[in-house]
């Protein structure tokens, strides 16, 4: 097993059967061996700097019905909201004062926000904060729409592929959504010029170790600028309410593997990781992640953006979230930096 990790460290690649073997047979010792190396690679590329992104969850309306997601359209218990332009700008103002230089606009796939409306939001934020990057995470759109977002000033786009296996994708999504379209969107975004992030959940229902190996291989082939992974966590109002949540150990192992496969890629220690373990985000950083995404959404909507149960940071003001993370990172020897945190070759 250690030889496999050495090989990954030296060559940044493993064959599918080697990945499957590693994922099937890892132990705490092997993980520690991996994390020493993945942490070193992260330190060599980013020092002890941790990039921050201010997350603005601006709508929880969604026209899709992803079976795992708490804000999917068929959840009649979801209390739906949309932020106004003023509210979004006010989140940015607070965020800017707190030192954020990237704003992530995330939401359900909400048709209310037409291309023109999204373009207007991007332009307003960019003109108020020209030194900030804008990341969009608003799902699948046409090539032309993505191009308009880019031309309006959006810099980055997050679109997790969720699973790179067609059969598995179909078990997590209704028939109108397809892995082929999701991947096409990712390639379109890259061609247009966005810094692109993809990723997947660990422990989603029906997932096999082979599926995870194929996720790693798809990411290797796609070469994203950002990779967001986190454990699947059930939501009480979805069909997967009774499913097991993803494992902390496996999520951390995958962060370590991804860091060795992609030394310069931006990897967040996600909120979902912090939700399944009180020190989850710290552990993610120590496994090779280099980004955190504190919440900037107004407190009165926080618990409505409920993708999964028991999500953390739903009661705190933006400043509290920022300072809490700052302390957490300092305790493990890292610093939050005031920086756009772009991908660098
Ligand atoms: N609508 C956009 C999209 O589809 O990409 C962005 C919002 S979507 C809620 C953001 C991510 O949340 C998804 O890509 C998915 O991986 C994650 N997510 C949704 N439900 C989850 C759950 N139950 N547990 C963990 N992550 C979840
Ligand atoms: Fe649309 Fe989750 S189903 S954001």
Ligand 1 centre distance from Cα of residue 4 (Å): 31
Q: For ligand 2, what atom is nearest to the CA of residue 72?
A: 3
Q: Model confidence at 293, in pLDDT bands (50, 70, 90)? A: very high
Provide the residue count of the chain.
345
48-84: per-residue pLDDT in tens? 999 999 999 999 999 999 999 999 999 999 999 999 9
Q: Model confidence at 316, in pLDDT bands (50, 70, 90)? A: confident
189-228: per-residue pLDDT in tens? 999 999 999 999 999 999 999 999 999 999 999 999 999 9
- Percent of the chain scored above 90 by pLDDT? 97
Is the shortest distance between the CB of 228 and ligand 1 below 6 Å? no
Check: complex ipTM more than 0.90: yes
Give the separation between CA 82 and CA 107, rounded to whole angstroms. 9
Nearest CA among 103, 151, 164, 120 for reference residue 296: 103
Per-domain residue ranges for the chain?
A: 2-336
Per-residue pLDDT at 332? 98
CA angle 96-98-101, nearest 5°?
45
What fold does the segment set 2-336 form as a domain? TIM Barrel (3.20.20)
Is the shortest distance between the CB of 109 and ligand 2 below 6 Å? yes
Q: Which residue out of 55, 61, 69, 76 has the highest number of ligand 2 atoms within 8 Å of its CB and is therefore the one to mutate?
A: 69
Q: Whose CA is nearest to atom 19 of ligand 1?
A: 69
Q: Is the pLDDT of residue 124 over 90?
A: yes
- Residue 321 assigned to a binding site: no
C-alpha of 140 from chain center: 16
Give the separation between CA 26 and CA 3, rounded to whole angstroms. 13
Per-residue pLDDT at 122? 98
Per the prediction, the chain carries an average pLDDT of 97
C-alpha of 61 from chain center: 19
Q: Which residue out of 59, 63, 64, 78 has the highest number of ligand 2 atoms within 8 Å of its CB and is therefore the one to mutate?
A: 64
Q: Is the pLDDT of residue 30 over 90?
A: yes
Ligand 2 centre distance from Cα of residue 104 (Å): 16
Sequence-separated contacts (24+) of 179-188 with Cβ below 8 Å: 181/140, 182/140, 183/218, 183/222, 185/140, 185/141, 185/146, 185/159, 186/159, 186/161, 186/222, 186/224, 187/222, 188/143, 188/146
230-283: per-residue pLDDT in tens? 999 999 999 999 999 999 999 999 999 999 999 999 999 999 999 999 999 999
Q: Model confidence at 315, in pLDDT bands (50, 70, 90)? A: confident
Ligand 2 centre distance from Cα of residue 68 (Å): 9
Mean pLDDT value of segment 174-192: 98
- Residue 162 assigned to a binding site: yes
Mean pLDDT value of segment 114-124: 98
The answer to whether 173 touches 165, Cβ cutoff 8 Å, is no
The answer to whether 164 touches 204, Cβ cutoff 8 Å, is no
Ligand 2 centre distance from Cα of residue 342 (Å): 27
Is the shortest distance between the CB of 159 and ligand 1 below 6 Å? yes
Q: Closest ligand to 158 CA?
A: 1
Is the shortest distance between the CB of 308 and ligand 1 below 6 Å? yes
């Amino acid at each position: 097993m250690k030889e496999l990790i050495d090989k990954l460290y030296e060559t940044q690649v493993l064959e599918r059967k080697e990945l499957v073997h590693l994922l099937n047979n890892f132990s705490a010792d092997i993980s520690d061996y991996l994390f020493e190396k993945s942490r070193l690679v992260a330190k060599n590329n980013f020092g002890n700097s941790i990039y921050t992104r201010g997350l603005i969850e601006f709508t929880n309306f969604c026209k899709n019905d992803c079976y795992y997601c708490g804000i999917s359209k068929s959840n009649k218990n979801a209390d739906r909201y949309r932020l106004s332009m003023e509210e979004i700008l006010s989140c940015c103002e607070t965020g800017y004062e707190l030192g954020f230089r990237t704003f992530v606009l995330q939401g359900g796939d909400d048709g209310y926000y037409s291309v023109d409306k999204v373009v207007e939001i991007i332009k307003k934020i960019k003109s108020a904060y020209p030194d900030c990057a804008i990341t969009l995470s608003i799902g699948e759109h046409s090539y032309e729409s993505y191009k308009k977002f880019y031309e309006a000033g959006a810099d980055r786009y997050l679109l997790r592929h969720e699973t790179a296996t067609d059969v598995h994708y179909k078990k997590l999504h209704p028939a109108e959504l397809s892995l082929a379209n999701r991947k096409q969107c990712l390639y379109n975004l890259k061609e247009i010029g966005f810094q692109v992030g993809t990723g997947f959940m660990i422990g989603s229902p029906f997932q096999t170790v082979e599926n995870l190996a194929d996720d790693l291989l798809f990411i290797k082939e796609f070469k994203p600028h950002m990779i967001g992974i986190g454990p699947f966590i059930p939501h009480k109002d979805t069909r997967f309410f009774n499913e097991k949540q993803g494992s902390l150990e496996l999520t951390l192992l995958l962060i370590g593997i991804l860091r060795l496969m992609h030394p310069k890629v931006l990897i967040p220690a996600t909120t979902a990781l912090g939700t399944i373990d009180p020190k989850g985000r710290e552990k993610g950083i120590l496994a090779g992640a280099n980004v955190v995404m504190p919440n900037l959404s107004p407190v009165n909507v926080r618990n409505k953006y409920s993708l999964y149960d028991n999500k953390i940071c739903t009661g705190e003001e933006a400043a509290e979230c920022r300072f809490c993370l700052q302390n957490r990172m300092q305790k493990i020897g890292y610093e939050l930096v005031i920086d756009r945190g772009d991908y660098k070759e």
